[in-house]
Amino acid sequence: MSTLLNDMHSQLNATLVAEICHPETCEALRDIIRNAVANGMKISVGGGRHAMGGQQFAGSSVHIDMTSLDKVIDVNHERGLLHIGAGACWPKIIEESHRMEFFPGKSWAIRQKQTGVDNVTLGGSISANAHGRGLRMQPMGDDIEDLTLLDAEGRLLRCSRTENSELFSLVIGGYGLFGIIYSATLRLTPRLRVRRLVDIIDLDDAMNAVYRRAAEGSLYGDFQFIIDPSDSGFLRRGVFASYKSVESGESEGMKENSDLSPNAWLELLRLAHEDKAKAFRIYAQHYVATDGNLYWSDTMQLSTYIPSYAEYLEANRPVDPDNDVKETLMIGEHYIPPESLLTFMHLAREILIHHGAELIYGTIRSIKRDTVSFMPWAKNDFACVIFNLRTRHNEKGVQRTADTFRALIDASVNMGGSFFLTYHRYASTAQVQGCYPLFQEWLRKKIQYDPGELFISDWYLHYRDAFHEGEKTE
């Protein structure tokens, strides 16, 4: 039965799929693949459905929802290895890691997860090669010991750095196009207590603060910048929160949750739309008040996510028959050499103002060069700059967001930077090729490993066709 699916965040990828399957075993997953091949159907794969570029959906495809494949398969208490189904979301992964004691009272923990949302599957995180707030960490592929993959023939393949190594590197950051990740073994780390350290600083000190805090023992951190264009500190000043490892005996004042409550987040989101100066003031006050708090290194990374905030804003805004267009947020992520961050943010300020783009949320994080994936987005050590833009669901609103992100990509490219491929499909083929010189080879590898193009997505078809068209005109 045909079903309309959409992503959770931008809600700009409504896609009619032929059917949705919810396999609970490896054999059931294999049967779906073989039946799709026999019936001439294509397959798309999703989990939490938070990706925004259309890489988890494809029109008229058999859509596989992986979230029932979330069982623990094996554990190694000594080495801190958790082998679990790829459909497991991060709260369950964290819960299962706590069961793995390597010494009485000492348990393992995840190293990182993407921030902002928790109900994302491990398979989805691997496919996007996601990253978290680690100050000195590579993207998530570095945390994967091995994985098992069902290919287009229904074969279950074990992939690691030493076994099917090329396929391993393609699947990490492969956006679900090289097969279906059935399970993965996650490398854990000892669970630590960390102390939150908060600074209100200017951007020109931000990267120095990152290096300084990292040298002092901070493991995680990010910088939330001012989003009010009328403020002299717009994109230039913000809250830098880092998390320093402390002695295991320290526990006084230990907090279970490091994030704001759902109601507090809803209020901040409302203010970010209506009174940006007040929104930042309240956000900064919250963080300053929590300076010195102790948290666990893994649960500190869990986030409050409000999937219905757009509906909340809709219900609470003044009635205006002439302005009833739906709106959501669109994310763009841009990678900048640390030494060029100030220059980039100055240009970003001009770009946002020029295009009339409204920023609702923004943050800067740190990433180390990716040495695992075939087509890395972190080609070097980068500062990751994330913009969340208010986007109205009409032609003008979407075009404004698209033009803004294309201009931001150009600015990052001119500084030797890059952007994340699948948050949207606004980047030109020239921009993709410039930032990802291996892209065409990556497309050829896709056909090598999946010659019938069984595993597809709207994002893949968009760029496959764009690059093929470009080859014809050369």
| Closest residue by Cα to residue 84 from 194, 186, 179 | 186
What domains can you pick out in the chain, each with its CATH number? Answer: 68-190 (3.30.465.10), 193-433 (3.30.70.2520)
Region 363-391 average pLDDT: 96
320 pLDDT higher than 70 = no
Strands in 374-473 per DSSP E: 382-392, 418-419
Region 402-413 average pLDDT: 98
**Mean pLDDT estimate for the chain:** 93
Higher pLDDT, 174 or 309: 174
Task: Give the rounded distance of the alpha carbon of 100 from its chain centre.
Answer: 26
262 — pLDDT class (breaks 50, 70, 90): confident
- Digit-coded pLDDT (tens) for 23-37: 999 999 999 999 999
pLDDT of residue 321: 58
CA–CA gap between residue 87 and residue 23 (Å, rounded)? 10
Q: Lowest mean pLDDT: which of 19-28, 114-123, 147-156, 260-269?
A: 260-269
Region 449-456 average pLDDT: 98
pLDDT of residue 210: 85
314 pLDDT higher than 70 = no
312 — pLDDT class (breaks 50, 70, 90): low
Residues 339-378, buried b or exposed e (16+ Cβ, 10 A)?
Answer: ebbbebbebbeebbeebebbbbbbbbbbbbebebbbbbbb
What is the layout of strands, in order, in the sheet containing 382-392?
294-296, 193-202, 237-245, 218-225, 359-367, 382-392, 327-336, 418-419
pLDDT of residue 316: 64
Q: Lowest mean pLDDT: which of 61-75, 248-262, 282-296, 370-384?
A: 248-262
Question: pTM of the prediction?
Answer: 0.94
Region 63-76 average pLDDT: 98
394 pLDDT higher than 80 = yes
pLDDT of residue 318: 59
350 — pLDDT class (breaks 50, 70, 90): very high
Region 366-379 average pLDDT: 97
